[in-house]
């Protein structure tokens, strides 16, 4: 069965600092992994997705994530945080087999950016 | 115009009332989903529909029902609302082409049950 764990419900960084949001997954099949962002009072927006084409995935707004099979991780990074990055971030894994299409979400990580 | 719309955006109701949340999409997707979001719990799947005639329960379907009126419309009902159904509700869509099935979300409905 697939599952997702996000380490840290809240991360705070200074503007200009590195952003690192952690996601570990469990999957019995090759996973398809996603990062979504939720800005205040908005729905979820896709940041990036891992589709097995490349282990380093680039997304919108300067974010990227690296798929590491040996560590079952898909951590999200951004070299330099901006105030506008403050939001909640969700990692998700797609279920396979006859449950294909369903996503399992992590608990979310709220990112705060200090000036 | 938004691809996935939800109405209402905010609703306050009383315990025992029947509530319907509506979702419409213009993306032409076959698949639609209803989630609820509670702080610290992420998103939990309530119901999902892979086409008009295929409706399935998710992880937390008790107390909820759905109707897929058309490919573009998927409604969520709370037959008799209770306070612990106070949450943010999201509708999402995806196409049926494997393998990615990324989901596209509506703006959400904030429901408060007093």
Task: Give the least confident one: A12-21, A52-61, B9-18.
Answer: A52-61
CB proximity B31 to A under 8 Å:
yes
- Determine the straight-line distance between the first and last CA of chain A, rounded to whole angstroms: 41
Q: Which residues of A touch B94 (CB under 8 A)?
A: 101
Q: Over the range A88-115, which residues count as b (16 or more CB within 10 Å of their CB) and which as e?
A: bbbbbbbbbeeeebbbbbbbbbbbebee
Check residues B91 and A102 and name the one with the higher pLDDT: B91
Residue of B nearest to A33 (CA): B100
Contact B66, B77 (CB under 8 A): yes
Instruction: Tell me the nearest-neighbour CA distance from B41 into chain A, angstroms.
Output: 5
pLDDT of residue A34: 93
A:21-80 residues touching chain B, CB 8 A cutoff = 32, 34, 36, 41-46, 49, 51
Residue A3 has pLDDT above 80, yes or no: yes
The mean per-residue pLDDT over the stretch A83-95 comes to: 93
CB proximity B72 to A under 8 Å:
no
pLDDT of residue A1: 72
pLDDT of residue B6: 97
Instruction: Tell me the nearest-neighbour CA distance from A1 into chain B, angstroms.
Output: 14
Count the helices and strands in chain B (H runs, E runs).
Answer: 0, 11
The mean per-residue pLDDT over the stretch A79-102 comes to: 85
pLDDT of residue A96: 66
Residue of B nearest to A32 (CA): B100
pLDDT of residue B1: 60
> pLDDT tens string for chain B (114 positions)?
669 999 999 999 999 999 999 999 999 999 999 999 998 788 999 999 998 999 999 989 999 999 999 999 999 999 999 999 999 999 999 987 766 678 999 999 999 999
Phi/psi of residue B17, each to 5°?
Answer: -80, 150
pLDDT of residue A51: 81
Sign of the CA dihedral with A57 first, then B29, A45, and A72 last: negative
Contact A108, A9 (CB under 8 A): yes
Task: Give the least confident one: A49-63, A87-101, B8-22.
Answer: A87-101
Check residues B6 and A101 and name the one with the higher pLDDT: B6
> What is the SS3 assignment for B55?
strand
CB proximity B61 to A under 8 Å:
no
Q: Which residues of B touch A33 (CB under 8 A)?
A: none
B96 dihedral zone (left: phi>0; alpha: psi -120 to 50; beta): alpha
């Amino acid at each position: 069965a697939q599952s997702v764990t996000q380490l840290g419900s809240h991360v705070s960084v200074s503007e200009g600092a590195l952003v690192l949001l952690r996601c570990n997954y469990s999957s019995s099949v090759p996973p398809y992994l996603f990062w979504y962002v939720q800005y205040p009072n908005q729905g979820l927006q896709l940041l990036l997705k891992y589709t097995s084409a490349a282990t380093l995935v680039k997304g919108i707004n300067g974010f990227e994530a690296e798929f590491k099979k040996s560590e079952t991780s898909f951590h999200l990074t951004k070299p330099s945080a901006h105030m506008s990055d403050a939001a909640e971030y969700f990692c998700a894994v797609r279920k396979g087999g006859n449950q294909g299409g369903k996503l399992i979400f992590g608990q979310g990580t709220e990112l705060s950016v200090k000036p | 115009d938004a691809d996935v719309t939800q109405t209402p955006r905010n609703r306050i109701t009383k315990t025992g009332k029947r509530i319907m949340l509506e979702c419409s999409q213009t993306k032409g997707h076959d698949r639609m989903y209803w989630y609820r979001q509670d702080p610290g719990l992420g998103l939990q799947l309530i119901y999902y529909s892979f086409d008009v005639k295929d409706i399935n329960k998710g992880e937390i379907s008790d107390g909820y029902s759905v109707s897929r009126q058309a490919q573009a419309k998927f409604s969520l009902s709370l037959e008799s609302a209770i306070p612990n159904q106070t949450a943010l509700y999201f509708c999402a869509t995806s196409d049926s082409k494997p393998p990615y099935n990324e989901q596209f979300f509506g703006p959400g409905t904030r429901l408060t049950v007093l």
